[in-house]
Chains A and B, each alone.
Chain A
C-alpha cells in the first residue's frame, strides 16, 4: 500500500466518522437521560432517509435542505411518540425489559410501514454531487462525503452549544449524572426527558437523511446502522458525548482499514467483533479507560 492509498483511506475514514458520530449521538442522549435503548433508532434512521428522498423527488427540495427540515419534523415525531408510548416507559436507572420491548415493537412497526409504503426495492438519492470528487494531486475526496461530513459536524456543533449554553442542555447533562439530585435542585425531569426524546429522534432522522446521501436504502436500512450506533456508544462509554466521537472514529477506522485484510463479504461481522472486543477489553468504554488511567495517576 502506497502512502497515497493510505491517505485516501484515512480521509474516507475520517469523513465516515463524522457521519457516524451524528448517527450515534441521538442514541446516547436518549440512553443517558432516560436509560432507554432506543431500538426504534433504526426505524427513525430509515424514515429520515425516505423523508429526504420524498422531499427531493416530489418537491425538488435539495437533499441538504431536506436534512435540515427533517430536524424539526422528527423532533415533533419524537414528541408524539413519547406522548403516545411514554406511559409504558417506567423511569429507571437501568434499561427495563418493558422499554426495550416497546422500542423494539415500535421499530417493527416503523420498518413494516416502510415496506408497505415504499416496497422492498432499494432507492438512492442522486445529486450532481454524488459522483463528483475533489482532487488534490493524487488524493481524491468524494464531494458528497465531504458535504455530509461538514453537515454532520454542524449538527454536532449545534448540539454541543445547546448542551453547554442553555438551561435545557444543562438539565440534560445533569440528568445523565443523577436523576434524584436533579429533582432536588428543581430540574423539570419529565419535560427534559420529553424534549430529550424528541432531540434523539430528530438526530436519528437527520442522520438517516445524511446517510441516504451516501448509501442506497430500503426499509431495512436502519438495522446495520443500529448495531454500529450501539458499538459506537459502547466504545464511548454509553453516556459520554466526547466518547461518541472517539467511538465513531474507532469504528470508522476499523471498518475502512479492514477492507485490506477482511474479505468484503465478512464486512457486516466487523462491527459485531468490535463490540465483543470492546465488551471484553473496555467495559466502561474509552471514557472508562481514561477515567481508570486518571484514577491510577492520582494514586
Chain B
C-alpha cells in the first residue's frame, strides 16, 4: 500500500486525509434522514464523550500524565453553563466560559502537582475531584446535593444540540491533530518518553504539562456545558462523581491512548455501551470496564486501535503469503 504512495507524481498519502474530513460531513447530513429521537440522543452523547475523551488523551496520552479527576472539569463546565443560561446568557458564550473556568481550574491543580516527579499528579487528581464534589454538594446557590435545574426559554431543538456536540467533537479532534503534529506535541511526546532528556533539549516540562492540562480541561469543560444544556438538570454526584472521572479515563484507554483515533473510537464505544448496556445492567458495567482495562494493559496496550493495527498486519501478511509461497 504505502509502497505505491505516489501515482503520476501525486502523493497519494495526501488522499488518506479525505475520509477523515468526510466523517463529520457524513454525520452532519445524517439528521436529514429523520432519525428517531433516541438515535439522535445516542449520537449526541457519543459526540460529547468523544470531545472529553480526546481532551483527556492530550494530557494522558500525548504527555503521559494520567488523571483520575477529569470530572472536575466536566462538572465545572456543566455548572458554568447552567448558571450562565439561567442568567439569560447565550449558551455558546457559556460553553466558552465553562471551558475557560475548567482551564483555570486545571492550572490550580497543575501548579502544585506538576512540580514533582512520580505519581503525585495522578493521585492528587483523585483527591481534587473528591474535594470539589464535596464543596459543590455544600454550595446552596446551586442547590447543593439536590441538583440544579436549567430553565431555557424557547423550544427544545434536539438537532441544534446534535450539531453543537458534533462541532465540539470535530473541534476536539482538530485540536488533537494540531497538537500532535506541532512542536508542542513533539515536546509532550518527549516528556512522556524521557522527561530528563526532554528538559535537556530545551523543553520546559512544567510549562508543557500545564498547557496540555489546560487544553484538555477546556475541551472537557465545554463538553460538560453541552451536556448540561441538553439534560437541563445537573447534580454534583452526576457531573462531579468519581464515576464520571472513571468514564472519561476509560474511553481513551479502551480506544488506544496516545493516538488520534483511539479516543474517538473509545468514546464511540463508551457512548453506545453506556446508553444501551448500563440502563439494563447497571451493576455490571464498571466490572466490565475494569476487566477490560486489565486485559488491555496486559495484552494490547494500544487499545482497540492497536488491535485493529494487529489485525490489519495479520491480513496483509496472509495476502503477501498468497503472492509469494515461500
Contacts and interface: CB of A to CB of B under 8 A. Distances in A.
Nearest to A102: B297
Most interface-central of B112, B135, B283, B301 (chain A CB within 10 A):
B112
Contacts of B25: none
Interface string B127-150: 110110011011000000000000
Given A227-B127, A272-B130, A238 B297 contact: no
A269 B130 contact: yes
B290 A227 contact: no
Interface stretch (B15-23, B42-50, B116-124): B116-124
Contact of B127 (A37, A113, A263, A271): A271
Q: Could you say which interface size class chain B belongs to? A: 35 or more
B79 interface: no
Interface string A96-122: 011011101111110111011000000
A137 interface: no
A276 B249 CA distance: 22
Interface residues of A, number: 44
A174 B130 CA distance: 36
A111 B118 CA distance: 26
A109 B131 contact: no
B246 interface: yes
Contacts of A112: 283-284, 286-287, 290
A234 interface: yes
B137 A275 contact: no
B118 A265 contact: no
Nearest to A272: B127
A33 interface: no
Contacts of B68: 104
Interface in A90-147: 94-95, 97-98, 100-102, 104-109, 111-113, 115-116
A279 interface: yes
B163 interface: no
B294 A105 contact: yes
Interface in B94-132: 112-113, 115-120, 122-124, 126-128, 130-131
B119 A37 contact: yes
B296 to A, nearest CB: 8
Given A108-B289, A224-B130, A271-B127, 20 more contacts: A37-B122, A95-B119, A95-B122, A97-B60, A97-B257, A101-B66, A102-B294, A105-B289, A105-B290, A105-B293, A107-B290, A109-B294, A111-B286, A112-B284, A223-B130, A227-B126, A266-B135, A268-B130, A272-B127, A272-B128
Interface of A: 31, 37, 85, 87-88, 94-95, 97-98, 100-102, 104-109, 111-113, 115-116, 223-224, 226-227, 230-231, 234, 238, 263, 265-266, 268-269, 271-273, 275-276, 279-280, 283
Interface of B: 60, 64, 66, 68, 112-113, 115-120, 122-124, 126-128, 130-131, 134-135, 137-138, 242, 246, 249, 253, 257, 283-284, 286-287, 289-294, 297-298, 301
